[in-house]
Chain A
Amino acid sequence: MMKPIDDSGLTMPLSLKAHHLADQFRQQQSTQPKAKQVYLNTLAVCAVNEYLKNLGIETHLEAGDSWDTVVQSLADVADLTLPGRGKLECRPVLPDAEICSVPPEVWGDRLGYVAVQFDPALREATLLGYVPSVTAEELPLSELRSLDELIDLLSPAPPPEPVHLGQWLAGVVEAGWQALDEALRSPQPAFSFRSGSQIQLQPPNTADVVAHGKLLNLPSQTSGDQLALIVGLMPTATFELDVWVKVCPQGDRTHLPPDLELMVLDEQDTVVMQAQSRNTEMIQLRFGGQPGERFSIRVVLGAMSVTEAFVV
């Protein structure tokens, strides 16, 4: 039995279906080396396809050049199409090989290259690992990265950690959020961001207020034309917190762009509050939040949007 070269590979059985397909493609080739190449390429694509399907990653086998008997004849290709993402190249590796061959005709236009090693009986395929790009025909197997990195490439990014508002009251503030409370107590009602732009803030007139702001990174904005998101909170007589959310223009701007939307979403991502700018100076939403409650704030401008997650 073949062993993976290290702990990062995964050995899977090769089904009769995969062999059957490989044989049909192989039968179209007129020389032994080419027929072998087509057979092994097909098995490699099937093995990677099976693995990705198991993990719930959508594939489209039939869309690949590797499934096209004309292209198979003219190129050494073992691509697997992932709809909406691109192609993964699945390169076959012989049982005792220490390199994976990656022909120049597949150097471009790939999300990455997965090395698939076979046993001599072609009963099993071991997914050894992957590389995001290649620059030579021979890839040493020692340069392969783990399947974990392939999973990172093909999986959605984990949702960002929510901003913990309860901790703001204790003075613990996440990076990227600028304290505004000091600025409020200073004679000039302005706060300088590191970038030099200024936030004008007029929250309720109370000493218990904690407010922090950050510049919004909406890609459609031109520089010097920025928007700031400000979140303020204040303890109430009950255990609830009074929370308000504001969007204000920054820099040279004195008014918000028209049709800017500010939304508050609950834990299920349902919009629970909404406000829209009509060329106003700022928009604000205000609500009560119980400790542990989660919500998100979304700012939408045209096709662009920014979402920030919070926990009270």
Chain B
Amino acid sequence: MNEHDSHLKELALEAQRHPQNSRERRKALTRLLRAIEQSRQLSRPRRDQFQGLYEEIYADAVQRLYAHICDRIDTYSAEKGEVLQWANFLLSKRFFIEASRELLPTVYKGMDARAVIHLTLEDLDRENPQDANPHSRPLLSQEVRTFIEDDPDQIFQTTHVADRPDASFQLIALRRLDGFSWQEISAALGIRVPTLSSFYQRTLTRLAPKLKEYLS
């Protein structure tokens, strides 16, 4: 048994010593998951299969494994072997299979694989959802904007920062939608950022149901 294995075993037994949902068990479980992850010794079963979807299935399987380890740490016993043996057995014999059974049908149902495979940061920096909107149906965010601009019940222009009728919710929301920073809006109005933002937050919480009602 190497040093790493004994560290993992120690953490697992430490978690077992404390009651479910106690601080000490939660801390020990966090350390255990971190140590398992940093060991880089979780197995990668069936690497030659599920081309194109392997990483997604694997991520789902590891997530299930982590949930199981946290929920069922009491079922680990040192006599059964090392923590990594226990985890890798569960990962390949149970959770990888469960994950593949759940994820594969979504692709086989004829869904566009592009729509299933996840985006990367690079994709997010490049793609504008509107470009992939061939029918130019109005997006929700555009409807929100239009409604705030039109303000049929005149609530957005009449709700304003105390004693500052010019600093209305309508003006602040539209500036934010146009991409102005809080500092820029603050400088233009001569109102401190925390005053503006807390007014905005409170008003948004209050008016959001009205917006939803209109847009639904």
Chain A positions within 8 Å of B, measured between CB atoms, are 1, 4, 7, 9-17, 19-20, 22-23, 26-36, 39-40, 50, 53-56, 65, 68-75, 94-95, 103-109, 118, 120-123, 137, 147-148, 151-152, 155-156, 158
Q: Dominant SS at the B interface? A: helix
B141 to A73, Cβ gap below 8 A? yes
Stretch with Cβ within 8 A of A (4 or more), from B4-12, B57-65, B159-167: B57-65
Residues 46 to 83 of chain B near chain A (Cβ within 8 Å) = 55-56, 58-60, 62-63, 66-67, 70-71
Query: Whole-angstrom distance between the alpha carbons of A34 and B124 in the complex?
Result: 10
Contact B26 A55 (CB under 8 A): yes
Asked if B130 is at the interface (CB within 8 A of a chain A CB), the reply is yes
Contact A19 B119 (CB under 8 A): yes
On chain B, the residues within 8 Å of A56 by CB distance are 20-21, 26, 70-71
- Separation of A68 and B58 alpha carbons in the complex (Å): 30
Report 29 cross-chain contacts, Cβ distance below 8 Å, ordered by A residue.
A12-B33, A15-B60, A16-B60, A16-B116, A19-B118, A20-B118, A27-B129, A27-B133, A29-B141, A30-B129, A30-B142, A32-B127, A35-B129, A54-B67, A55-B29, A56-B21, A69-B140, A74-B144, A94-B121, A103-B182, A104-B182, A104-B196, A108-B198, A121-B121, A122-B118, A122-B119, A155-B22, A155-B23, A158-B23
From A29, A107, A108, contact of B129 by CB (8 A): A29
B53 to chain A, nearest CB (A): 9
Identify the closest chain B residue to A33 (Cβ): B179
Check B97 for interface membership: any CB of A closer than 8 A.
no
Q: Is B188 an interface residue (CB 8 A)?
A: no
Pairwise interchain contact A32-B125, C-beta atoms closer than 8 A:
yes
Chain B positions near chain A (C-beta within 8 angstroms): 20-24, 26-27, 29-30, 33-34, 37, 40, 55-56, 58-60, 62-63, 66-67, 70-71, 103, 115-116, 118-122, 124-130, 133, 139-142, 144-145, 173, 176-177, 179, 182, 193-194, 196-198, 200-201, 204-205, 208, 211-212, 215
Q: Are the C-beta atoms of A30 and B124 separated by less than 8 Å? A: no
List chain A residues, Cβ under 8 A from B215.
70
Are B21 and A156 in contact, CB atoms less than 8 angstroms apart? Answer: yes
Could you tell me the distance between the alpha carbons of A237 and B154 in the complex, rounded to whole angstroms?
Answer: 85
Cβ–Cβ contact B121 & A95, under 8 A? yes
Evaluate contact between A12 and B63: CB separation under 8 angstroms.
Answer: yes
Pairwise interchain contact B121-A122, C-beta atoms closer than 8 A: yes
Please tell me if the beta carbons of A107 and B141 are within 8 angstroms of each other in the complex.
Answer: no
Are A75 and B59 in contact, CB atoms less than 8 angstroms apart? Answer: no
Residue in chain B with minimal CB distance to A29:
B141
Known: A14-B59, A107-B194. A70 touches B121 (CB 8 A): no
